[in-house]
Structure 1
Amino acid sequence: MKTAEIARRFLDYFEKNGHTIVPSASLVTDDPALLFTVAGMVPFIPYLSGDVPSPYPRAADNQKCIRTNDIEEVGKTPRHGTFFQMLGNWSFGDYFKEGAIRFAWTLLTSPEEEGGLAFDPADLWVTVYEEDDEAYGLWQSVAGVSEDRIQRLGKDTNYWSTGLPGPAGPCSEIFFDRGPAYGIDGGPATDDDRYVEIWNLVFMQYEITNVRSKYDFDIVGELPAKNIDTGMGLERVAFIKQGVDNMYETDQVRPVLDRAVALSGRTYGANHEDDVRFRVVADHVRSSLMLLSDGVTPSNDGRGYILRRLMRRAIRSMRLLGVDGPTFAELFTTSRDAMKEAYPVVETDWQRISQYALAEEETFLRTLAAGSTILDESVAQTKASGGTRIAGAEAFLLHDTYGFPIDLTLEIAEEAGLTVDRNAFDTLMQEQRARAKADAKARKRQLADTSVYRDLRAQGETVFTGYTDLETESSVLGLLVDGVSVDRATTGQIAEVILAETALYAESGGQVADKGVIVGPGYELEVLDVQKPVPGLVSHTVEVTTGEVGVGQAATTVVDAANRRAARQAHSATHLVHAALRDTLGKTATQAGSLNRAGYMRFDFAWGQALSDATKSEIEEISNNAVRDNLEVTTRVLALDEAKAAGAMALFGEKYGETVRMVDIGGPWSRELCAGTHVSTSSEVGLISLVGESSVGASNRRVEALVGLDAFRSLAAERALVSQLTSTLKTPREQLPARIAELQASLKAAEKKIAQFESRALADRLPALAGGATTVGTYRVVAESLGTAASADDVRSLALQVRDRLGSDAAVVALGAAVGDRPVVVVVTNEAARAAGAKAGVLAKAAATALGGGGGGRDDVAQGGGTDAAALPSALGAVKDALGAA
């Protein structure tokens, strides 16, 4: 039974049983505590917690998930995958334990011809929380499971909570017994790979507080509305139903594995280490494909870093399988073909997806080449010094700074007959992980407890009137101070105000929040920020500037009209620039993020190279032509599917409801899903002036523009600057570029002549320097400051010449100079000095320490530098001291 067929049967079954079928949410979650949708329940958290009323009493879905906390286990076990699909059925205060158990057991054990999955009950085991007698009894009475197939387990496996105050409850899991060939008897309690968990039923029935750990907390009482949260692992069910040993051999994953086998020329099943690598490739390529399809792009932080790590692990695994060249063109195409039936977007958006994948592979292959060069030098230096081990710090530098995998460092070192100080490397890695975990915990601690908004959200959604009105009368539904609900707030306090209606725009979709005030009888509030802490609820962060505000009082929101006008201009300008980019570059130049505020817009888009000046001018001209043409701006509220069918573009990672707001500028020329505020006609934008274009990742670019009066003021300032230059240089405006180029050429020629004079002056000092050599210990030493020098190369050249003049006796030359505003010390040694133990690299480090910097190099020539040029005499003295102590 194919994976897509299993999912279809699941959804059909629950739809027939009164469940609303909910589409999968994006892998990119808007939960600030998470980078990705890591579990099937993530999109339903507002409903499960009661923060937001559920729009349906029962639902079912097939949710895409990404989880990388067990990434090192991928390929080693039959069930660990970074991308997985979680089939779930949900009850929000509707049915509870009995219904959940009946639904699960019936679907699993019903014959295929009746739409079921046809599991033999004799192959299934059940676990329950050790104190949950109710569930234990229901498995017997409802499903007919015998006592010897039901096991009671503790909180660590059969109790669910988020680790934060809120809902929690016992859970019950269904396991499939793969048979004695896969492990010992004894049921799921043996924690063996023989028993594969395929379905988890969470009975969310308690409210917890005083959470000390995930399994240590106080139960406040039962929830007023008990919920059901279940998850059936689609990949796990698929590998069982398809009669294969693991998820990597299922129909959606195996084709990539087979393609990797063909590219490598090796055999799957012949070598355990190779098998793990093949599975890593198959899993990571599919995960990367799905992340790219949801708008994640490779980068060095956040979600983009996780994607980059997955892609680079796949490239590394192919290299360890003997393939050094590019493979993504074939591997990603194969994964696309395997996944397109379930997720058509991987085919319809293939051009953009493949562009990112191939660009990332090309970049990393260059990184590997560069890292190999650095590592080769480290190997050579280690061998030359008689060492047998590469320092852990060097291996970590390669990993952390250059993205060079430790596996390859170990492999190359082993080929050279060396080892790597793995303990030191691991220590540095642990320190880095500890910092990352501390940052994540801090971020989690900083999250507001959204339960405080629950009662307020239960009164209904905040009505936004700001599309048509700049003032709206309402009433104060709630007040929060420091996250705690209060009855009133007084002058000087910072508070959150919840209103029934508001004309103030809450930050979203790239548009920053409105400025304005909230006024009422005897009080005035300055609006500092407007946000949506939970879906559908608007919170105004305010400072009470006058009087006292209380719950239940009348309140009028007043929008700063000038700021809103400029913000509308910037947001509409963003849409115009997006359309111009697609006109100029093609349909793959899709939005990757934006920011617009009064007078300014920033737009990120998918593109792999810098834009030429001509292209930037063309984009600017198209955008301003659209302004000139006074295009009509219209908005419509319609069904999401209808909007997509009309060609409306959606922002990747943005959550959309069943109905959406579509904004057209000039009809279909610019058609996007957008909840922001806009001008009525394009001419109201006024003017768009592109002021910047830069890279924001391997395959993303950013354009920035000033809009309206801000654009005019910027151009006026440039005009004044040009006028000043024409006056100062006594040159007509059109001849300014040539005149400035002429002055630059003259300056460069003068600098070259000065450098030649300085070099000749240094060379003239050669006899005096050589003649002034002193004896330090057993060495003839020249340690002098040259004052200033044009370049470090000049200092090095002079030091080598002085050394040559000193003959065959052990000689060390250390010359210092200020190059620009930075001090430099060059140390050179001859063969006799090196034989006596003098190493230029060691001496240069000693000098650099005195200069407040760093240095090093070879034994014969080395260089140090720093920040304190006044310390050059001390630095040269440090060289002498080191030689005297030798």
Structure 2
Amino acid sequence: METAEIRRRYLQFFADRGHTVVPSASLVSPDPSLLFTVAGMVPFIPYLNGTVPAPYPRAVDSQKCIRTLDIEEVGRTPRHGTFFQMLGNWSFGDYFKQDAIRWAWELLTTSEADGGFGFDPKDLWVTVFQDDDEAEAIWRDEVGLPADRIQRLGYADNYWMTGQPGPAGPDSEIFFDRGPAYGADGGPATGDDRYVEIWNLVFMQYEIANIRSKEDFDVVRELPNKNVDTGMGLERVAFIKQGVENIYEIDQIRPVIDAASRLSGRAYGANAEDDVRMRVVSDHIRSAMMLMLDGVTPSNEGRGYVLRRLLRRSVRAMRLLGVEGATFGELFPVSRDAMSAAYPELLPESGRIQRLADAEEESFLKTLVGGTAILDTAIERTRAAGAEQVAGDTAFLLHDTYGFPIDLTLEVAEEAGLTVDRAAFDRLMQEQRSRAKADAKAKKTALADLSVYSDFRAKGETAFLGYSELVAESRVLGLIRDGRAVSSIALGDIAEVILAETTLYAESGGQDADQGEIRGPGYRLEVLDVQRPVAGLVSHRVQVVEGEVAVGDPAQTIVDPLYRRGATQAHSATHLIHAALRQVLGPDAHQAGSYNKAGYMRLDFSWNAPLSPDTRSEVEDIANLRVNEDLEVVTRVLPLDEAKAQGAMALFGEKYGDVVRMVDIGGPWSRELCGGTHVGHSSEIGLINVVGESSVGATSRRIESLVGPEAFKQFATERALVTELGANLKVPQAQIVSRVQDLAASLKAAEKRIAEFERQALAQRVPALASQARSVGGVTAVLEQVGALGGADDLRALVIDVRDRLGAVPAVVGLAATVQDRPVVIVATNAAARDAGAKAGPLAKRAAGVLGGGGGGRDDIAQGGGSDAGAIEDALAAVAQGLSS
């Protein structure tokens, strides 16, 4: 049974039983404390914990997930994958244990001919929580599962909680027995890979608090509305139904293994380690492709770093398979074809995804060359020191800073007859993980008490009236100060205000929050920020500047009209710039993030090369041409599917409901789904002045513009500057560029002549410096201060000339100078001096220590420096002492 068919049957089974089919949410998690959607429940958390009322009593979905905590296990076990699909059916206060258990068993054991999965009941085992008599009774008495195939396990295995106060409860898991060839008898309690968990039924029936550990917490009460959260692993069921050995060999993944085998010339199944590498490639290529489909681009932080790691591990695995050249051009199309039946949206995005992948692969292949050079140097130093281990901090630096994989470091070191201090490396990695966990925990804690908004959200959504009005009457539904609901706030307080209606725009979709006030009888509040802490609820962060306000008071929201006008100009300009980029560069120039506020906009877009000045000007010209055409800006509210059918762009990272707001500027030329505020006609934008274009990663660019009056101010400033330049240069404006070019050429020629004079002057000093040579520690040494020089290169040239002047006798030259008011010392030795034991590196390091800095280098020439120019004579004395010891 193909994976896509398993997915279809699951969704259809529960749809036939009254479940709303919910499309998969993005892999980019809506929870700010998570990088990715790591489990099927993540999109439903607001409904499960009661923060937001569920829009349906029961639902079914197939959710895309990414999880990288077990990334080292990928390819080594039959079931670990970074990208996986979780099938789930959900009840929000509707059905509970009986129906959840009954339906799961029915779907699993109904024959394939009758629409089920056709599992033989004798191959299935079940675990329940140790105290859940109810679940065990349902399995035994209603389903008819033999008692000896129902096992009770403890909190670690069969109890679900988030780790935070809130909903929790027991779960029941269903396992498939692969047979005695895969392990010992004894059921899932053995923990053996023979028993594969395929379905987990979570019964949220308690509210817990005071959590001291996974097994030690207080049960506050039974939940009045009990929820069911289930998850069936699509890949796990697929590998069982398809009769293969692991998830990597199912129809959606195996084609990439075959491609890796073909490219490497190594047969899958012939060598255990090669098999692991091919499975890593197949998993990571698919995972990376799905992340890029959802708008993630490679970078050095956050989600982009995880994506980059997956891509680089793929390159590394192919390298270990003997393929050192680029392979993504062949691997990604294979994965796309295997996945497109389930995700047809891959086909139109495949060009963009392929370009991102190819650019990252090319970059990493260059990184491997650079990392190898750094590692080679470390190996030379290790050998020179007589050691047998490459330092752990060197391995960590290569891994963390340069993206050079630790297994490659181990391999190269082994080839050189060395080992790596793996304990030190692992300690540094653990310290990094601990810092990351602490940061994640801090973020999670800061956002953990969203329950304070639950009661307010239960009263309904905040009505936003700001599309058509700047002032509106409302009433205070709630007040929050220091994270707690309060009945009133007074002069000077900073708090959050929840209103029934508002005209103040909450920050979203790249648009900054409105500025303005909230007023009522006897009080005035300055609005500091406007946010949506939970879906459908607007919170106004305010400071009380007059009077006192209480829950239930009337309120009037007042938007600052000048700020709103500037914000609408900037947001509409963002749409124009985006459309202009796509017109000039093509559809792959896709928005990857934006920010706009009154007078300013920036747009990040997928592209892997700088824009030429001509291209940048063309984009700006097209956008301003659209401004001058006075295009009508049309907004429509319509079903999501209809909007997409009309070509509306859904931007990556944005979450859309079933009904959306579509904004047209010039018809289909600029047609996007957008909840922001906009001008009525493009001419109201005024002027767009592109002031910057830069890189924000190997595959993303950023364009910045001033908009409206701010754009005009910038042009006025530039006009004044040009006028002043013309006056100072005494030429018309049209001749300023050529005049500046002439002056630059003259300056360059003068600098060249000066450099030649300085070189001649330095050369004239060589005989006098050589005459200062004296015997120190068995070598002929020149140790002198030469005053101030223009650069360290001048000092280096002088040192080498003096050394050469001394001839073949063992000679050491150490000269010190001040360069830009900082002391620099350079030491050079000839071959005879080095044979006598005098090496430049240690001598320069000794001198630099006296100067309050550091230094070192090769045996023949080395450099050091510091901050204490007054210690130059002592530094040269330290060199002499080093030669004498």
TM class, shorter-length:
over 0.9
Query: 1:245-292 deviations in whole A, cap 9, x for unaligned?
Result: 100000000000110000000011111111110000000000001001
Shift of 1:648: 0.3
In structure 2, the residue matched to 1:392 is 392
Distance of aligned partners of 1:431 and 1:827 in 2 relative to their CA distance in 1, 3 Å threshold: farther
Q: What CA distance in whole angstroms lies between the structure 2 residues aligned with 1:865 and 1:108?
A: 73
Q: Which amino acid aligns with 2:59?
A: A
Contact 1:96 1:227 in 2 (8 A): yes
- 1:33 matched to which residue of 2? 33
Instruction: Please give the residue correspondences for 1:555-574 in structure 2 after superposition, counting only pairs within 5 Å.
Output: 555-574=555-574
Aligned-partner Cα distance in 1 for 2:874–2:661: 70
CA offsets 1:728-757 (integer angstroms, 9 cap, x no match): 111111111111111112222222222222
| C-alpha separation in 2, matches of 1:64 and 1:876 | 66
In structure 2, the partner of 1:623 is: 623
CA contact (8 A) 1:758 1:790 kept: no
User: What is the distance in 1 between the residues matched to 2:35 and 2:266?
Assistant: 36
Secondary structure of the 2:401 match is helix
Report the alpha carbon displacement of residue 388 of structure 1 after superposing the two structures with TM. Answer: 3.7
Q: Which amino acid aligns with 2:315?
A: I
Name the amino acid aligned to 2:327. T
1:588 alignment partner AA: D
Farther-moved stretch of structure 1 (732-741 vs 508-517): 732-741
Instruction: Give the Cα–Cα distance (whole angstroms) in 1 for the partners of residues 269 and 151 of structure 2.
Output: 35
State whether residues 207 and 221 of structure 1, in contact with CA within 8 Å, keep that contact through their aligned partners in structure 2. Answer: yes
Secondary structure at 1:211's aligned position in 2? coil
Greater shift, 85-94 or 736-745, is seen at 736-745
Residue 495 of structure 2 corresponds to 495
By how many angstroms is 1:810 displaced?
4.2
Structure 1 contact 664–671 (Cα < 8 Å) conserved: yes
Q: Which moved more, 1:761-770 or 1:89-98?
A: 761-770
Q: Deviations over 1:325-370 (max 9, x none)?
A: 0100110000000000000111121111111111111111111122
Helix, strand or coil at the partner of 1:438: helix
Q: Which amino acid aligns with 1:432?
A: Q
In structure 1, distance between residues paired with 2:672 and 2:466: 19
Aligned residue for 2:35, secondary structure, equals coil
Question: For residues 310 and 256 of structure 2, what CA distance do their matches in structure 1 show?
Answer: 15
Residue identity in the other structure for 2:757: F
Distance 1:172 1:613 in 2: 62
Shift of 1:841: 1.5
Alignment of 1:235-274 (within 5 A): 235-274=235-274
8 A Cα contact 2:30 2:43, kept in partner: no
* Residue number in structure 1 paired with 2:586: 586
- SS in structure 1 at match of 2:648: coil
CA displacement, residues 106-141 of structure 1 (integer Å, 9 cap, x when unaligned): 101111111111111111111111111111111112
1:316 is paired with a residue of what secondary structure? helix
Task: Select between 501-510 and 808-817 the one with higher mean Cα deviation.
Answer: 808-817
- Asked whether 1:814 is paired with 2:803, we answer no
How many residue pairs were aligned?
A: 885
**Offset, 1:871:** 4.4
Asked if the contact 1:312–1:364 (Cα under 8 Å) also holds between the matched residues in 2, the reply is yes
Q: 1:830 to 1:851 in 2, by over 3 A?
A: same
| 1:230 partner amino acid | T
Pair 1:70 & 2:54 matched: no
Structure 1 residue identity aligned to 2:431: E
Task: Identify unmatched segments of 5+ residues in structure 2.
Answer: none
Q: How far apart are the structure 1 equivalents of 2:103 and 2:530? A: 43
1:493 maps to amino acid: D
The amino acid that maps onto 1:508 is: S
Distance 1:722 1:810 in 2: 61
Cα root mean square deviation, aligned: 1.5
Give runs of aligned pairs for residues 156-171 of structure 1, distance below 5 A. Answer: 156-171=156-171
1:570–1:599 CA contact under 8 A, matched in 2: yes
The answer on 1:197 being equivalent to 2:197 is yes
- For residue 231 of structure 2, what is the aligned residue in structure 1? 231
2:120 equivalent to 1:120 = yes
Q: TM-score, normalised by structure 1?
A: 0.98
Instruction: Measure the CA separation in 2 of the matches of 1:218 and 1:829.
Output: 75
Deviation at 1:701, TM superposition (A): 0.7
Write the distance in 2 (CA, Å) between the matches of 1:252 and 1:472. 54
Instruction: Give runs of aligned pairs for residues 458-473 of structure 1, distance below 5 A.
Output: 458-473=458-473
Offset at 1:776? 4.2
Change (3 A) 1:256 1:511: same
- In the alignment, the residues of structure 1 paired with residue 290 and residue 674 of structure 2 have an alpha-carbon distance, to the nearest angstrom, of 24
Q: Which amino acid aligns with 1:632?
A: E
Distance 1:483 1:846 in 2: 58
Structure 1 counterpart of 2:612, which letter? S
Q: CA deviation at 1:852?
A: 4.1
What is the Cα deviation at residue 82 of structure 1? Answer: 0.1
1:867 Cα deviation from its structure 2 partner = 4.5
Task: Give yes or no for contact 1:448–1:483 (8 Å, CA) kept in 2.
Answer: no
Matched to 2:543, the amino acid is: E
* Cα contact 2:155–2:214 (8 A) shared by 1: no
Q: Distance in 1 between matches of 2:511 and 2:873?
A: 58
Q: Note if contact 1:758-1:789 (Cα within 8 Å) is conserved in structure 2.
A: no
**Distance (whole Å) between structure 1 residues aligned to residue 206 and residue 585 of structure 2:** 55
CA distance in 2, matches of 1:211, 1:882: 63
**Other structure's SS at 1:212 match:** coil
Within 5 Å, give how 1:52-451 maps onto structure 2.
52-384=52-384, 386-451=386-451
Query: What secondary structure does 2:211 align onto?
Result: strand
One-letter amino acid of the structure 1 residue matched with residue 321 of structure 2: L
Distance apart, 1:874 and its partner CA = 4.2
Deviation at 1:668, TM superposition (A): 0.9
Equivalent position of 2:833 in the other structure: 833
- State the 1:386 CA deviation: 4.7
Residue range with higher mean Cα deviation, 576-585 or 425-434? 425-434
Q: CA shift at 1:384, angstroms?
A: 4.9
Using structure 2 for the length normalisation, give the TM-score: 0.98
Distance 1:441 1:876, change over 3 A: farther
Given that 1:517 and 1:525 are in contact with CA atoms closer than 8 Å, whether structure 2 keeps it comes out as yes
Q: Given that residues 823 and 867 in structure 2 are in contact (C-alpha distance below 8 angstroms), is that contact kept between their aligned partners in structure 1? A: yes
CA contact (8 A) 2:206 2:220 kept: yes
Distance in 2, Cα, partners of 1:430 & 1:389 = 20
SS at match of 2:212: strand
The alignment-based identity, stated in percent, is 68
Instruction: Name the counterpart of 2:527.
Output: 527
